[in-house]
Amino acid sequence: MSDKPVIGFIGLGFMGHGMAKNIRAKGYELWVRGRSNRTPVESLLSMGAKEATSPRQMAEVCDIIHICLSNSPQIEATMRGPDGILAGARKGLIVIDASTANPASTEALAAELSAKGGHFVDAPLGGTPVQAEAGQLSAMVGCEEAIFDRIRPVLDTWAAKSTRIGEVGSGHKMKLLMNFIGLSYGALFSEVVVLGAKVGISPQIIREVISPSRMGNGFFETFMGYVVDRNRDSHKFSIANAAKDLRYLNDMASDADMVNIIAGGAKHYYTHAIATGRGEDYVPMLSDLVGALNGVDMAAEVKKGG
């Protein structure tokens, strides 16, 4: 019998499938639970994974459970529902939440699991779906140091780098700070390319000048991959998720009694996109929305600058 812990995985989307695949490939017994899309579930079952009927069952048979879902309400339902993880939790169970979540919710769930003798870990992700498939993500981890040491071998199956930020909740706080930077870039770059178009500077020229400069970065490259090349999949992060993350960031700032004008301004762009039915678009497509608000067709501007 293997001395490796039995692993569970809930949430098999863009990131979750690759993470779960790497866990199974490293020889861990794996239980999975997906949603309506059966493709990632069947992929993992073909590798020898088992399918749980509920989060409760997963908690009863697994030693460590990963959660990789879209938002805190989904995580809370998975934990607290009648067939949720807490209903089946036993002493020693570790739950690793790899989602981007509200730190206040994370801390509350951690207390509830602790009351049952378990341990809650927040380990939000840095990286892309391609890196998830390759096992090359990064993790920002919030938990006790002893628990970090215990879960490190499992984290290493899907993360090239895991950094313990501090106690429970600190991982999600760090992730929100990181996403605040990136999503503010999304709003900033949208204004830049639209203003450039209005004053006669094409998106192509903006990319040519900025990319090799100190202001160029990976986010800029994937963002401009859509703006200039019209590659829809160059930066696959939805506006709906972006708005959620900025909402959590603004809540965190409010709880800290901080004035946060830039975060508030960035949030409004994404909120407007959702209000106009664009929530499932990806972040670089915000440039089209900002263009429309200013009477600029960005696709036409790219053609003009070609």
Residues 26 and 80 in one domain: yes
Count of C-beta atoms within a 10 Å radius of residue 218:
10
177 vs 242: CA distance, rounded Å: 13
- The single-letter DSSP state of residue 140 is E
Tell whether pTM > 0.85.
Answer: yes
Residues 50 and 182 in one domain: no
Q: Burial level of 8, CB count in 10 A (0-12/13-18/19+)?
A: buried
- The single-letter DSSP state of residue 10 is E
Question: What CATH number has the domain bearing residue 178?
Answer: 1.10.1040.10
The reported pLDDT for the residue numbered 81 is 97
Does the residue 129 lie in any domain? yes
50: β partners: 31
For residue 30, the Cα-to-chain-centroid distance in whole angstroms is 22
The reported pLDDT for the residue numbered 225 is 98
The reported pLDDT for the residue numbered 306 is 80
Residues 184 and 150 in one domain: no
Does the residue 202 lie in any domain? yes
Where would I find the beta strands (DSSP E) of 70-186?
A: 94-97, 119-122, 125-126, 137-142, 159-166
Catalytic residues, by residue number, are: 175
Does the residue 2 lie in any domain? no
Does the residue 282 lie in any domain? yes
Residue finishing a domain among 122, 137, 167: 167
Ranges of the chain with pLDDT below 70: 1-2
The reported pLDDT for the residue numbered 19 is 98
User: Which token pair is 238?
Assistant: 């939805």
Residues 158 and 27 in one domain: yes
Pairing of strands 64-67, 159-166: unpaired
Residues 119 and 12 in one domain: yes
Question: What CATH number has the domain bearing residue 38?
Answer: 3.40.50.720
* pLDDT tens for each residue of 201-252: 999 999 999 999 999 999 999 999 999 999 999 999 999 999 999 999 999 9
Residues 133 and 199 in one domain: no
**How far is residue 73 from each of residues 105, 235, 244, 279, measured CA to CA in Å?**
9, 25, 11, 18
The reported pLDDT for the residue numbered 1 is 43
Residues 60 and 100 in one domain: yes
**Domain range spanning residue 146?**
7-167
Q: Which residue matches tokens 């879902």? A: 69
Residues 43 and 117 in one domain: yes
